[in-house]
């Protein structure tokens, strides 16, 4: 199949691209490099530097490539920026997504796979693990904008018949994760400890998150190509993990046992606890997490150690980008 992946130079989507390419699919990547990196690009994927707010450039890519499936990961993903700039957040995450959805419908795309958010969407749940039919109560503009697109996909399937699958991610971690976002706690802790900087934990260390390793997320995106039509799935590890536990895992793996965290006030918009049910994904998507937290943590910390030592991890070599749209 011919698949267009937006945000394909970013942490999560670059691994999805790799999985699609490894599965024998033809892949086109669109990214504006606002958060992504050239070194993440798969050399076997066709690349276009395009912003999802640029409808004309999107139409040009669709007209040239005629993708059969859209996998949409490009987003404004900074929760704090969304609080400061809710109009920008909505413009990228809602209007940008509508540009893609409309282009997909106009070009006869068969399926739209959408990367959504779980924790920022469900808000502070009153029961856990949280199933997909739990009420969505986002407490940040980012959560609102990401969830809104789910409604558009449902509506446009009813009107135009375009299939879709929504994947609501837990806290994704693994190689290539960026330390520039508040969700990149593995990257943040690893880079800071390796640099001899005392890491900061927002809150008292007891906040609970549900982590999922990047390879498991990539497998879910492969499964979503043929399964789960019209459904929403939680994609996560299904295990409650505190901030302190992540800190001490990273610290011990790095052998930095003399480093202690510095606790500061929790940031606005952060939830205290989230744990997701992945039973629906097991039943309907044929997917379940396979990489245990301890193993995922080992792989992730090892990656950041190699980066700090200047060694090239697999597929991390910088790639010369030649395909351009809109600024050739």
Active site residues: 142
* Distance between CA atoms of residues 319 and 41, nearest Å: 7
CA distance readout (Å), 291 to 28, 216, 244, 295, 298:
28, 7, 20, 6, 11
CA distance readout (Å), 163 to 68, 93, 154, 292, 324:
11, 20, 9, 32, 29
In the block, residue with structure tokens 């859209």? 70
Q: Residue 190 contacts by C-beta under 8 Å, 6 or more apart in sequence?
A: 179, 250, 254, 300, 301, 304, 305
* Distance between CA atoms of residues 280 and 290, nearest Å: 16
* Distance between CA atoms of residues 192 and 159, nearest Å: 50
* Distance between CA atoms of residues 97 and 155, nearest Å: 14
Answer whether 164's CB lies under 8 Å from 116's CB. no
Give the single-character DSSP code of 130: B
Q: Which residue from 54, 159, 70, 146 is spatially nearest to 107, judged by alpha carbons?
A: 70
Answer whether 5's CB lies under 8 Å from 20's CB. yes
CA distance readout (Å), 263 to 162, 171, 198, 250, 266:
47, 21, 10, 17, 9
* Distance between CA atoms of residues 115 and 99, nearest Å: 16
């Amino acid at each position: 199949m011919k698949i267009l992946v937006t945000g394909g130079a970013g942490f999560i989507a670059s691994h999805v691209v790799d999985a699609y390419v490894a599965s024998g699919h033809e892949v086109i990547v669109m990214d504006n490099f606002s958060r992504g990196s050239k070194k993440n690009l798969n050399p076997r994927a066709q690349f276009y530097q395009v912003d999802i707010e640029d409808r004309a450039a999107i139409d040009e890519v669709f007209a040239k490539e005629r993708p059969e499936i859209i996998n949409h990961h490009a987003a404004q993903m900074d929760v704090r920026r969304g609080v400061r700039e809710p109009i920008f957040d909505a413009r990228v995450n809602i209007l940008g997504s509508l540009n893609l959805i409309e282009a997909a419908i106009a070009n006869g795309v068969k399926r739209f796979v959408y990367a959504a958010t779980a924790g920022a969407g469900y808000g502070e749940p009153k029961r856990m693990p949280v199933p997909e039919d739990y009420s969505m109560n986002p407490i940040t503009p980012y959560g609102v904008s990401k969830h809104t697109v789910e409604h558009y996909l449902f509506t446009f399937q009813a009107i135009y018949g375009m299939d879709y699958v929504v994947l609501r991610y837990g806290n994704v971690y693994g190689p290539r994760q960026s330390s520039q976002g508040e969700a990149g706690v593995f990257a943040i802790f690893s880079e800071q400890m390796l640099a001899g900087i005392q890491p900061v934990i927002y809150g008292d260390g007891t906040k609970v998150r549900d982590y999922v390793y990047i390879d498991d997320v990539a497998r879910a995106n492969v499964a979503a190509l043929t399964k789960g039509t019209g459904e929403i799935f939680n994609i996560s590890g299904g295990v409650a993990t505190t901030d302190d536990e992540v800190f001490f895992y990273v610290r011990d793996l790095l052998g930095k046992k003399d480093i202690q965290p510095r606790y500061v006030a929790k940031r606005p918009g952060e939830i205290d606890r989230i744990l997701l049910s992945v039973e629906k994904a097991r039943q309907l998507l044929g997917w379940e997490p396979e990489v245990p937290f301890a193993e995922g943590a080992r792989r992730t910390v090892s990656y950041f150690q190699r980066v700090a030592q200047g060694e090239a991890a697999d597929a991390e070599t910088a790639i010369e980008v030649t395909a351009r749209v809109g600024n050739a």
